Structure 1
Amino acid sequence: MTNEPITTQPEIVTEGDSSSGKKYLLPFILVISLFFLWGMAHNLDSILIPHLKKACNLNNRQSTLIDTSVFLAYFLMAIPAGMVLKKWGYKATMISGLLAFAFGAFLFVPAANNLSYITFLIALFIIGCGLTMLETSANPYAAVLGDPAKATSRLNLAASFNGLAAMVAPMIGGLFILSGKSHTKEELAAMTDATRNSYFLEEAASVKTPYITLGIVLLVIAVVFYFIHLPEIKTKSIDGEAKGSFFGALRHKHLKWAVVAQFFYVGAQVCVTSFFIRMAQQGGGFDEKTAASYLVVYGFLFTAGRFAGTALLQFISSNKLLVIYAIISIILCLVAILGKGSYVVYALGAIGFFMSIMFPTIFALGIDGIGDDTKPGSSWLIMSIVGGAILPFGMGSLIDVYGDNIQIGYSIPLVCFLVILYFGLRGYKIAHK
């Protein structure tokens, strides 16, 4: 999914002394590696979209099916992943997620060899299924690996490795996947069939080494998880009965608005990053490699924004900070849409800074005060991640309608930030009966 972790936490306790830091250090390091790995998967998608657009000769709408494949998997696998977690436990669920992730990564080889975009999409859907299992299990597990009073700090520390991946993935993609070569439609049409096919195959082949390496790393970590002893975790229930209702949770007006806002937030984040490189090329006038380096800067600013936002929340209420950040993001979107030259790219990078606190802030405001409906409410907020599958497709379609005008496409995230602004102003308010 996005760079944000799924933050639902079951009521769980560990056997033994939960404050013994040394006992949980190695398991926690392994769990942190999962946060980094799913961050790598998501941020490599921002490289894959412009790259496979070239390699498979796609239009913008077709290229956004990369996002659709991954985030649709989150939507479809959210409930099954929870069932697997309940039946098999955290360790088995994490290993299953790693294996599915690795299988999807290895499928990139036949996809590249056959220049099959459908196979790429299947591979990405399988990766998305693996990521859903990892996020569903790793977040609550990280929360209980140590002193309960420090659970939030541990989750924030683990989540910071998502931000690290947002910097590392574009570096790797820029070095090993993007070739820096591009041809216009006229140039492609002027090539012989053999030359054109050779160009497409060469472009597609560059994804094989990074994804084979990623798959091997995932298998190694899965083996380590299998043999390492992880502290036992048991679910603690107050009275043995499930509380709350899945559909009944939506009686809370502010939760419904949070689900809507989260749908648009995830869509906005994926839209911004998915077309970042092409925007830097078209709007900023940069070459492909330079554009990828600015995506690294975006990742740095996203991470910095999380730390800065956490500090600011000590002095300002979360809904007010959300409003301020949404207004600034709207202004930056307008700069990206209407501006020219390098500052268009600077505006996109800055959006990363101001988006950084939106997911957890919307999440926390949405489940505030809903009592027994907290768990089903959290499930709704997780399922709203499907915005990352739908809105980028709409953005790609809009870009195609306007003759490959990437800048006009950023009106989609602009609308998203307007919805988030409304949520921060009014939608978050709890309706008192």
Structure 2
Amino acid sequence: MALPPPAESIPTRPAATPGGAAPVYRSALTLLATLFFMWGFITVINNTLLPHLRSVFDLNYTQTTLIESVWFIAYFVASIPSAKLIERIGYQKSLVVGLMVMAAGALMMIPAARIPSYGVVLTALFVVASGITLLQVAANPYVAVIGSPETASSRLNLVQAFNSMGTTLAPLFGGYLILSRSTSGTRLDGAAEMTMAERLADAQSVQLPYLIVAGVLVVLAIVIARFNLPALGTATRRAAAEERKHHSLWRHRNLVFGVPAIFIYLIAEIGVSNLFINFVSAPEIGNISHATASNYLFLLWGGMMVGRFAGSFLMRSIPAERVLAGAAIGAFVVMIITTFATGPVAMWTLISVGLFHSIMFPTIFTLGIRGLGPLTEEGSGLLIMAIAGGALVIIQGWLADLYGLQMSFLLTAACELYVLFYALWGARPVVSGSEPPPTDEQLAV
């Protein structure tokens, strides 16, 4: 499982300022926030790239969603090698390597567009996703342990907000530089078939955006390589092997049902975002071009950003399980309406699902590790690897080919029902078997 490497020594933290964080850590967080922004940004560029590639290569929905499946397979394949690399070369060098791997993948999109080649596109995106996986494994624990332990949650929420900012702005960037500059992006669905010359020109339209992205990644890698990041050895806490062997992850119901909850939720989130532009563009729904539809995708991701702030506020006074249950019910209702309605109603209900999806991943993750005590780190690793569930978005592509794009969203509705089950029952931190119940200290983890 993809776990951060054990630390060799806990660093001595400099005295905190009145604001609660030492200046050196504030500078590091400012820099690291750019990493979260960039991987959120690049991940969501795929949502504008997919309908574009569907037209360029004349793909069916199964082939289109395979592109995103390859992206999430990289999370599963690269997570353990990433953890081993961090253990070998350290956090800072691993961040640099991750950025350079991402830059290399972005540059591979240029020959993929010139050929053009569907296979090379898949390879390039797998390389980019592998670099992002390395950043995820390195940056998340690093942000958690620098600075005061009392403000760890605040720091993680702050950088996650920058991640949401990247996912919100990416559709505008992709819509302007990819879709609005291509024939496939500006024509309406159902228009005349594209000529070979138009397909070739459209394929080459992705070169400039990815060249810009690669340049930004290289600059960021150089900055991080030269920046004096606080050195961390083994700042992540692991229970001794002797202590851990008396506990079992599989006796914690909230984790056992939490891992599939993350896995299944990712199918819903990725399916909606990847097929959004094709759905909204359909004549019976929005009857708009792909470039215009990308502006509505901005609203979907913007709703997720707003929902995270709102959910954080609500959870101060309402139990997280109850908020999660309300979100799952809301998501189920709007997906049923999306499946059977037409026109603006179907379009706006699909957009609104972002608001309900917003809190699901962080809330499921938090509930999943609740009460694990000395097993918290191992449980977190299983939940992180469950992100690979996004690879199964190809199932929705297959359903769209068989029964139509709109009916395929019934799969999303079914995923929301599992999240509801988890919120109402599966998330309860009850330990099964003979293992003693978690202590107050463990429940506070």
TM-score by length of 2: 0.89
Aligned counterparts, 1:2-41, within 5 A = 13-17=10-14, 19=16, 21-41=22-42
SS where residue 287 of structure 2 aligns?
Answer: coil
Residues 1:316 and 2:344 are matched in the alignment: no
Aligned counterparts, 1:379-390, within 5 A = 379-390=381-392
Contact conserved, 2:336 with 2:413, CA < 8 A, in 1? Answer: yes
Paired residue for 1:414? 413
Paired residue for 1:273? 273
Aligned counterparts, 1:231-310, within 5 A = 231-236=230-235, 241=241, 244=244, 248-282=248-282, 283-310=285-312
Paired residue for 2:341? 339
Q: Distance in 2 between matches of 1:185 and 1:285?
A: 10
Q: Distance in 2 between matches of 1:238 and 1:327?
A: 37
Q: Distance in 2 between matches of 1:18 and 1:254?
A: 38
Cα distance 1:58–1:185, how it changes in 2: closer, same or farther (>3 A)?
Answer: farther
Q: Distance in 2 between matches of 1:276 and 1:97?
A: 29
Q: Distance in 2 between matches of 1:349 and 1:239?
A: 44
Q: Which runs of 5+ in 1 are unaligned?
A: 1-5
Paired residue for 2:215? 216
Pick which of 65-74 and 301-310 moved more.
65-74
Residues 1:120 and 2:121 are matched in the alignment: yes
Give, in angstroms, the shift of residue 185 of structure 1. 7.9
Paired residue for 2:378? 376
Q: Which amino acid aligns with 2:169?
A: V
Q: Which amino acid aligns with 1:274?
A: N
Paired residue for 1:3? none
Aligned counterparts, 1:65-84, within 5 A = 65-84=66-85
Q: Distance in 2 between matches of 1:8 and 1:345?
A: 41
Contact conserved, 2:51 with 2:290, CA < 8 A, in 1? Answer: no
Cα distance 1:68–1:350, how it changes in 2: closer, same or farther (>3 A)?
Answer: same
User: For 1:321-352, what per-residue CA distance to the aligned partner results, in whole angstroms no more than 9, with x for missing partners?
Assistant: 11110000000001110111112121122111
- Percent identity of the aligned residues? 35
Contact conserved, 1:15 with 1:233, CA < 8 A, in 2? Answer: no
Q: Which amino acid aligns with 1:164?
A: M
Cα distance 1:306–1:265, how it changes in 2: closer, same or farther (>3 A)?
Answer: same
Q: Which amino acid aligns with 2:207?
A: K
Give, in angstroms, the shift of residue 409 of structure 1. 1.3
Q: Distance in 1 between matches of 2:337 and 2:219?
A: 45
Give, in angstroms, the shift of residue 161 of structure 1. 1.0
Contact conserved, 1:18 with 1:145, CA < 8 A, in 2? Answer: no
Q: Supply the RMSD in Å over aligned alpha carbons.
A: 2.2
Q: Across the two proteins, how many residue pairs are aligned to each other?
A: 418
Aligned counterparts, 1:121-160, within 5 A = 121-160=122-161
Which of 186, 191, 196 is residue 181 of structure 1 equivalent to? 186
After TM superposition, where is structure 1 displaced by more than 3 Å over at least 4 residues in a row?
A: 6-13, 181-187, 236-245
Contact conserved, 2:101 with 2:131, CA < 8 A, in 1? Answer: yes
Give, in angstroms, the shift of residue 82 of structure 1. 1.1
Q: Distance in 2 between matches of 1:357 and 1:251?
A: 26
